[in-house]
Amino acid sequence: DEETLHDWIVAAKAELGERVRILGHFYQRDEIVRYADFVGDSFMLAQAATRHPEAETFVFCGVHFMAETADILSGPTQSVVLPNLAAGCSMADMATIDQVEGCWRELCAVLGDGPDADGRQPVIPVTYMNSSAAIKAFCGRNGGIVCTSSNARTVLDWAFARGRRVVFFPDQHLGRNTAKAMGVAESDMPLWRPHLLNGGNTVEQLRDAKVILWNGFCSVHKRFTVEQIERARAEYPGVRVIVHPECPAPVVEAADGAGSTEYIRKQIEAASPGDVIAVGTEINLVNRLQGEHPELTVFCLDPVVCPCSTMYRIHPAYLAWTLESLVAGAVPNRIAVASTVATDARVALERMLAARP
């Protein structure tokens, strides 16, 4: 039961001490967050993996691509474990390395693969953190970079300083929302559908493009709608609406602010007693923020609860099992990115770490 699990986790943590650091994403359930040594958005968690030399092992309470990133950025003698290997991300799965390489070959054939007269590349690959290590490595090898929702704009500025166009994997919404905020017209952002020739675009569309958007999305965030925002505004005049930039563009435009999970947390921290805030993101984070701030009214825009089912797969029973295995000297569920992939992925990730939020 819950109490026994709690006792096991606390005892194992005490035994392991500083050798093991538990990292947790903001979307983790409360029963996990309470044991985390560090909680953050995906940028902060990537940084955290570079900042704890005392740890032999990071227990990563989040999803697979985040654990891969922690493995790539942590030291060579440190290991990363994911308590439940079934904790993936359906958006990250929407782009495979074979599809991305196929897209790149087609783009190079249409746009050329050498710099223009002014030294800029025809296209720079940018991948959202929510992608496999293989895709990050592809970006590292091809003059590209990784971004998260907290630094996407800085990263696109970096890319446009080096190239005429960007191809953005795999979240079309983060790509579109960021580029729109920078003044790029939607007509200059063709969608790339991986199963069609030239992604379903004409050669002219690709030549005129500024940002080519991969056809991926988050099934949690695509549920948010403008109607929900209108309903919240009708019911609570003066409500402040904050959403994650994985939401569709009309939702981001109807909101009062959009940003990463850390941005959302900071907005709530900065609110004044009595404020009403409607949030368009994963429910575990929204409920926790309401719990921490009884002086505010904080609620999720989606009336039908909106959890990330894969984040939720990290259950305290898996955490207890993982920690007990570590006490016994085993390293269970290790996420070890092959060194050939890790070397190139690190290039793209280090470019990203230099582009602060």
Positions in the binding site for ligand SF4 (CB under 6 A)? 63, 89-91, 130, 218, 220, 246, 282, 308, 310-311
The DSSP secondary structure of 280-332, one letter per residue, reads ES-HHHHHHHHHH-TTSEEEES-SS----TTGGG--HHHHHHHHHHHHTT--T
> Considering just the CA atoms, what is the radius of gyration of the chain in Å?
21
Among 79, 151, 260, 333, binds ligand 13P (CB under 6 A): 260
H helices of the chain, in order, are: 2-16, 30-33, 42-48, 64-73, 97-111, 133-141, 152-160, 172-181, 203-208, 226-235, 249-254, 261-269, 283-292, 316-327, 339-354
68 binding partner (options ligand 13P, ligand SF4, none; Cβ < 5 to 8 Å by kind): none
Task: Tell me the C-alpha distance between 262 and 203, whole Å.
Answer: 40
CB of 43 to ligand 13P, least distance (A): 6
- Residue 146 φ/ψ, nearest 5 degrees: -105, 150
90 binding partner (options ligand 13P, ligand SF4, none; Cβ < 5 to 8 Å by kind): ligand SF4
Among 127, 131, 149, 284, binds ligand 13P (CB under 6 A): 149
CB atoms < 10 A from the CB of 167, how many?
28
Cβ closest to ligand 13P, residue 111 vs residue 283: 283
267 binding partner (options ligand 13P, ligand SF4, none; Cβ < 5 to 8 Å by kind): none
Q: Is 167 helix (H, G, I), strand (E, B) or coil?
A: strand
Among 261, 284, 310, 333, binds ligand 13P (CB under 6 A): 261
Question: Angle 97-111/133-141 helices, nearest 10 degrees?
Answer: 30
Asked if residue 128 belongs to a known ligand binding site, the reply is yes
Answer yes or no: are the C-beta atoms of 332 and 60 closer than 8 Å.
no
Cβ closest to ligand SF4, residue 9 vs residue 129: 129
CB of 223 to ligand SF4, least distance (A): 10
Asked if residue 91 belongs to a known ligand binding site, the reply is no
Q: Is 229 helix (H, G, I), strand (E, B) or coil?
A: helix
Among 28, 69, 121, 130, binds ligand 13P (CB under 6 A): 130
Asked if residue 261 belongs to a known ligand binding site, the reply is yes
Cβ closest to ligand SF4, residue 120 vs residue 315: 315
Among the listed residues 130, 149, 133, the one whose alpha carbon sits nearest the alpha carbon of residue 141: 133
Contact positions with ligand 13P (CB under 6 A) in 19-48: 26, 41-43
Tell me the binding residues.
Answer: 25, 42, 89, 128-130, 149, 218, 244-246, 261, 308
Binding residues (CB under 6 A) for ligand 13P: these are 26, 41-43, 130, 148-150, 218, 244, 246, 260-261
